[in-house]
Structure 1
Amino acid sequence: MTGRTTPAPSQTPSRLRLHLACVCALAALAGACKAEPPVTGAIGTSDYRARHPIVLADGTRSLDVFPTGPGHLDPRQGDDVDAFMLEYRRYGRGGMLMEVPRGLPPVRAVATERTAGLIVQRAGQDGVARRDIVANPYAVAAPELAAPIRLSFQRMQAKVADACGTWPQDLGGSNFAFDNSNRPVWNLGCSTQSMVAAQVADPIDLVRGRPEGRIDSVKRIRDVGQLREGKDPSTQWRQDGQTSVKAQVGN
């Protein structure tokens, strides 16, 4: 009768160590091949600047000019056109598009054409040549409503990389782990970043600082002289009167 062969005691630990090594290697390979979860599905950072970064990209700048009279620009819109032309000269790319409404009643159509001519004339006074403005008509859907003359050009702008309003997590009580993690929701800070990007006059300021301006040599010489004399070179602000606010408003 043949019995079952039992492995030698000296060989059992070696086989166990080999088996454990193979399991660890397979686990490492499986972990390396694991796909990362989507960023919006599992918040990876609590910093809103990392979740909603401000980037530089080409965008459209536009201005709607409404004819307010028999072919003239009111002072408010005239100043708007001047500022728009100045921005185009500084940052504009390519030409400027002027879209003129078509399909208006005769009286308003004449006033609109005259206003468009005044805009081109004012642009020339602001340093924008006539050849840089391309005029195209656009159809008016409701002739009874005010139809503006639309000016637009392309320039580099600052904006948020992703769209605001993304809510991948339920803000209710359905996810106990997330609700008790004390971590911000994904959309937090997106509107703030968008407002900051919209208020930047020159997007390059977000990338690097401006070069140092001219030095006030007169003030520098005066400050150095005061330092040599042991005086304080800072500006001394004078306050007229020492009456307190409480004394002015009474009891």
Structure 2
Amino acid sequence: MTKYSTSIRQDAEAETMVHKPSAYRFSRLLVASSMMAIAGLATSCGSMGDRIQTGSIPDDYRTRHPIALADVPHTLDLAIGTGDKALPIGSRDVLKGFAANFISSGGGTIQVALPQGAINSATATHLSKDIRRQLMTAGVSAPQIVTTVYDASSYEGAAPVHLTYNAVTAVTNTCGQWPKDLMADSMANRNWYNFGCASQNNLAAQIANPMDLVAPRGMTPIDAARRTTVIGNYRDGSSTASE
């Protein structure tokens, strides 16, 4: 081997030694870039998920099922048997409850519709006086009770006596509405349309005075005697609680 060829081999080895670190550094940079790209994608997916989750906050169920005030008919179907000589105790209790609701609602009149053309029409007409008497005993005045008739010839058996009055009542829309496919719409992370409807209906049914939804009631006058007693007990160090 000549001196010249030996020099060429040494130069080639030296060049290889020089380029090895450069290739190593390049590979490390490539791996680091890949990791950063993956991390960026993960961060992007996470932020996108946050945006989707934040943007998918559903509308308040109270906006989908609002409680409103409406003039609603309240009805009671009173069963009358063909052989009844007087109103049963159960029917009297139901009439008392119906009359109490009528009085508390401030309704105008109660309409008592008697069946005509049914097998128990004569019995219903005979017991209409007892129905009127029970309503008046519960506190309904005579002018507020209006007796009418309705055609009950289509009834195969005994027809009931319809009692009806109209009053302003807190109501909401009807439950059980499914305008969209529940399974197909689940990817949007929203609650379904019928969600909260039952709660709103139950809340509306529990409202004793529907006008409480419009404005607060006026304050009643203070009890001066009770206030003097409470202040006196407070000064004496005694209990101010009501007995």
* TM-score scaled by length of structure 2: 0.64
Given that residues 64 and 151 in structure 1 are in contact (C-alpha distance below 8 angstroms), is that contact kept between their aligned partners in structure 2?
yes
| Cα distance change, pair 177–123 in 1 and its aligned pair in 2 (3 A) | closer
For residue 233 of structure 1, report the CA deviation from its aligned partner. 2.4
Residue 12 of structure 2 corresponds to: none
1:1-251 superposed matches below 5 A: 45-68=58-81, 70-91=84-105, 93-105=107-119, 108-125=120-137, 126-130=139-143, 132-144=145-157, 146-160=158-172, 162-172=173-183, 174-175=184-185, 177-178=187-188, 181=189, 183-234=190-241
Cα deviation code 1:110-132 (max 9, x no counterpart): 32221112112333443422574
CA contact (8 A) 1:97 1:133 kept: yes
Tell me how far apart the structure 1 counterparts of residues 237 and 133 of structure 2 sit (CA, whole Å).
Answer: 60
C-alpha distance 131-53 of structure 1, shift in aligned 2 (>3 A)? closer
Deviations 1:179-236 (A, max 9, x none): xx3x322211011101111222221122223333454444322221122134442469
In 2, Cα distance between equivalents of 1:60 and 1:201: 16
Residue 150 of structure 1 aligns with an amino acid whose one-letter code is H
Distance in 1 between residues matched to 2:84 and 2:241, nearest whole Å: 57
* Number of residue pairs matched by the alignment: 186
Whole-angstrom CA distance in 2 between matches of 1:176 and 1:97: 48
Distance 1:76 1:212, change over 3 A: farther
Residue 136 of structure 1 aligns to which amino acid in structure 2?
Answer: V
CA distance in structure 1 between the partners assigned to 2:234 and 2:141 by the alignment: 50
Whether the aligned pair in 1 keeps the contact of 2:118 and 2:152 (CA below 8 Å) is: no
Deviates more, 1:217-226 or 1:88-97: 88-97
Calculate the aligned-residue CA RMSD, in Å: 2.8
- Whole-angstrom CA distance in 2 between matches of 1:131 and 1:50: 38
More helix by share: 2
Deviation at residue 83 of structure 1 after TM alignment: 3.3
For 2:171, what is the secondary structure of its paired residue?
Answer: strand
Structure 1 residues without counterparts, runs of 5 or longer? 1-42, 237-251
Other structure's SS at 2:170 match: strand
Deviation larger for 46-55 or 131-140? 131-140
Cα distance between partner residues in 2 of 1:86 and 1:150? 17
Counterpart of 1:119 in 2: which secondary structure? helix
1:65 to partner: Cα distance: 1.5
- Which residue of structure 2 lines up, in the alignment, with residue 19 of structure 1? none
Aligned partner of residue 182 in structure 2, secondary structure:
coil
Runs of 4+ in 1 over 6 A off after TM superposition: none
Gaps of 5+ in 2: 1-55
- Contact persistence 1:71–1:112 (CA under 8 A): no
TM-score, L = length of structure 1: 0.62
**Aligned partners of 1:176, 1:102: CA distance in 2, in Å?**
53
Query: Residues 214 and 131 (structure 1 numbering): CA distance in 2 closer, same or farther, change over 3 Å?
Result: closer
